[in-house]
Amino acid sequence: MMHASNENPVLENPRLAELTSWDAPWSGLHVVVAGIGVSGFAAADTLIELGAVVTVVDAGDTERNRQSADTLRIVGASDVVLGPDAMAEVPDVAGRRPDLVVTSPGIRPSSPLLSAAREEGIQIWGDVELAWRVNRREGRKSPEWLCITGTNGKTTTVGMTASILQAAGLKAIAVGNVGTPILDALRDPVEYDVLAVELSSFQLHWTHSVSPLASAVLNVAEDHVDWHGSFENYRADKSRVYENTRVACVYNAEQPGAEELVEAADVVEGCRAVGFTTQHPGLSMLGVVEDLLVDRAFVPDRVKTAAEIGSVSDTGAIPTRHGVANALAAAALARAAGVEPEAVRDGLRAHRPGDHRIQLVAESDGVRWINDSKATNPHAAQASLSAFDSVVWIAGGLSKGVGYDDLVARNATRLKAVVVIGTDDAALLDSLARLAPDVPVLHATPGTAADASASGIDPADGHAVMRRAVRLAREHAAPQDTVLMAPAAASMDQFSDYADRGTAFTGSVHEELGF
C-alpha cells in the first residue's frame, strides 16, 4: 500500500522553506556550490541570476575549470576557488557562513566539505532539488516532470519518453543526467510542456521536495557500491524517485522487490502503481502480447480491454528484451501524461538511440561487431549478452566494487572467447576461471613489464589496448558469431569515459576490417 502524502517534507531552515519558486526571495541567500562541472556551473549561474551570493569550489584546477571560473566571476560569483584544498571544509561566503550548500552529483556524501556541512547543520541540496524549487515561475508555463532512474537503460528510456511526447505534439526535452541540466531547460526561452528527467542515484540522494507527475525505476542491480557504501543504500536512493509522485509510480514487474519500493513510497493521494513486463501484462500493467506492445493500465476498462501502443520491432534496430522493457517504461510515463497510443508508436519509431548502446558497428564475413560501451556494470552487460547466441566478449575495466559471478554463470554457454581489457580485472578473471573454465581468455592489456615491452603497448593507453583486443577477437570469431564489446565495468582506467572507449572500439573495428 503506497503512503499518501499531500505535502513535501518540512525543512529545518525556515529561510529555505520559503524557496519554492523562481520568484521566491532568493536575493541575499549565501550559497556554496560544490563542483564546477556541467551541473555545478548551471546551479551557480542560476543562483547568481536569482540574486544569491555564491562561492564555487572545485578540487580540480584544470584549464576547463579555470575558464568556467572566469565566466562565473564575470556574471557575479562572489568567489571561485579551485585546487586540492578547495573542498577541505565549508568556506565562508562573503564573510559569513552559508545558508545552503548545492552539490554536484559526483561528490561523495563522505567528502570533507559535505561531512562538515552536515555537522554544522547546513542544508545540502543537489542541482535537481534546486531545479524543482525554481520550476514554477510567474508568467511562464511550469513544465511537468517525468522522472526516470535505474541501474541501466536510463538514457535510452529518457530519450524514448521525450520522443513519444514530441510525437504527441508536446514541447518536450530530455534533461538531467542525460546531459542537458534541468536548470538550463528551465531558463531556455522555449517554454516546455514536459521534461523527461534522467536521475542518477547520486542526484536522488540530495532531493527533498521533487514531486513529479510520474516516475519510474527501471531496474536496480549492484552498482556504485563504492559511492553509496552498500547496495542497500544505493537501492534506497534509487527509490527516492517515487517520493511525492502524483499520478503514476512505474515499476519493473519482472524484478523481485520492485513493487515493494513503490509500496514504501510517500506519494500524493490518488497516485497509482503501474507495472511493465516483457511478458503478458496483468491488470494495471503494460506488456507484450505476441509481438505487440499493449497497455492495460491507462484504458477505461482495464479488466476486459487493452490498447495497442506499438510492436517489438518499434523498439530498436536490434530488439532486445532490455530494449522492450525500456520502451514499455517510457510508454507508461507518457500515457500517465495523457499521450494517445498512436503517439507512443510514432515516438518509438522516431527515436534514435545514442551511440555506444548495443550499436551495430560492422558486419563482415558473417560476424557482427557490436559496441555496447555504455554497459558499465554487469547488469547492463547482461542485457546485451543475452541477446546473442555465440559471443566473443570484450570486457573489463574499473569494477567499482561489484562482482561478476552471476553474469559469467548466466552466459558461460554463449561465450566462445573472452578478450579482457582494463587494469582492474582480478574479479572478472576469477569469475571466468571458476564458472567458465573452458572458455578461452585472452589478455589485451599487457600484464607485465616484459609483456608491455614485447607488445609495445602501454597498459594505460586504452586506444592501443583496444586495437589489440579487436585483433584478438577477430582471430577467434567465425561466421554466425557476434563480437560484443560490453565491458561490464567503468572506463576511466584507460579511457576518458565510456564514449571514448566506444569510439576506440568502433575505430579499431573499421581499421581491422579495412572499412
End position of a domain, from candidates 130, 150, 166: 130
Report d(CA 342, CA 117) in Å as an integer.
50
String of DSSP letters for 371-435: E-TT--SHHHHHHHHTT-SSEEEEE-SB-TT---HHHHHHHGGGEEEEEE-SS--HHHHHHHHHH
Clarify whether residues 46 and 148 are in a common domain. Answer: no
- 10: in domain: no
End position of a domain, from candidates 299, 324, 350: 350
Collect all residues with Cβ–Cβ distance below 8 Å to 325 and sequence separation of at least 6.
Answer: 153, 218, 219, 252, 254, 276, 277, 278
Whose grid coordinates read 578540487?
Answer: 59
- For residue 5, the model assigns a pLDDT of 44
Over residues 244-284, the pLDDT tens digits come to 999 999 999 999 999 999 999 999 999 999 999 999 999 99
Is 396 labeled as ligand-binding? Answer: no
- For residue 3, the model assigns a pLDDT of 57
Q: Identify whether the C-beta of residue 455 lies closer than 8 Å to the C-beta of residue 446.
A: yes
Over residues 81-99, the pLDDT tens digits come to 999 999 999 999 999 999 9
Clarify whether residues 77 and 60 are in a common domain. Answer: yes
Clarify whether residues 334 and 431 are in a common domain. Answer: no
- 18: in domain: no
Clarify whether residues 208 and 280 are in a common domain. Answer: yes
* CA-based radius of gyration for the chain: 24
Report d(CA 181, CA 400) in Å as an integer.
25
- For residue 8, the model assigns a pLDDT of 35
Question: What residues does 121 pair with on adjacent strands?
Answer: none
Report d(CA 300, CA 250) in Å as an integer.
18
- 3: in domain: no
End position of a domain, from candidates 113, 130, 147: 130
Clarify whether residues 339 and 379 are in a common domain. Answer: no
Question: What residues does 371 pair with on adjacent strands?
Answer: 359, 485
Clarify whether residues 373 and 224 are in a common domain. Answer: no
- 387: in domain: yes
Question: What residues does 82 pair with on adjacent strands?
Answer: 58
Regions of the chain with pLDDT less than 70: 1-12, 222-229, 448-454
* CA–CA–CA angle 168, 174, 176 (5° rounding): 150
- For residue 1, the model assigns a pLDDT of 45
Is 323 labeled as ligand-binding? Answer: no
* CA–CA–CA angle 235, 182, 48 (5° rounding): 120
Q: What is the dihedral of CA 406, 408, 414, 417, to 10 degrees?
A: 170
Instruction: Give the structural domain span for 447.
Output: 359-513
Report d(CA 250, CA 252) in Å as an integer.
7
- 53: in domain: yes
Clarify whether residues 342 and 214 are in a common domain. Answer: yes
Q: What is the CATH number of the domain that holds 420?
A: 3.90.190.20
Clarify whether residues 57 and 94 are in a common domain. Answer: yes
- 483: in domain: yes
Clarify whether residues 307 and 222 are in a common domain. Answer: yes
Q: What is the largest CA-CA distance in the chain?
A: 70
Q: Which of 171, 101, 111 is nearest to 142 (CA)?
A: 171
Question: What residues does 100 pair with on adjacent strands?
Answer: 31, 123
- 12: in domain: no
Is 448 labeled as ligand-binding? Answer: no
String of DSSP letters for 186-226: HTSSS--SEEEEE--HHHHHT-SS---SEEEE----S--HH
Secondary-structure percent of the chain, ordered helix, strand, coil, rounded to 5? 35, 20, 45
Q: Identify whether the C-beta of residue 392 lies closer than 8 Å to the C-beta of residue 366.
A: no
φ/ψ region of 309 (left if φ > 0, alpha if ψ in -120 to 50, else beta) reads alpha
How many CB atoms are located within 10 Å of the residue 481 CB? 21
Clarify whether residues 500 and 470 are in a common domain. Answer: yes
Is 152 labeled as ligand-binding? Answer: yes
* 476: three-class secondary structure by DSSP: helix
Q: What is the CATH number of the domain that holds 296?
A: 3.40.1190.10
Report d(CA 483, CA 418) in Å as an integer.
10
Instruction: Give CA separation, 291 vs 49, 225, 311, 385, 466, in Å.
Output: 51, 37, 6, 21, 37
Clarify whether residues 394 and 420 are in a common domain. Answer: yes
Is 83 labeled as ligand-binding? Answer: no
- For residue 276, the model assigns a pLDDT of 98
Report d(CA 473, CA 283) in Å as an integer.
46
- For residue 457, the model assigns a pLDDT of 85
Clarify whether residues 177 and 322 are in a common domain. Answer: yes
Is 376 labeled as ligand-binding? Answer: no
- For residue 222, the model assigns a pLDDT of 60
Query: Looking at the 3D structure of the chain, how many domains does it have?
Result: 3
Is 154 labeled as ligand-binding? Answer: yes
Report d(CA 109, CA 118) in Å as an integer.
9
* CA–CA–CA angle 286, 314, 368 (5° rounding): 120
Whose grid coordinates read 556554496?
Answer: 32
- 4: in domain: no
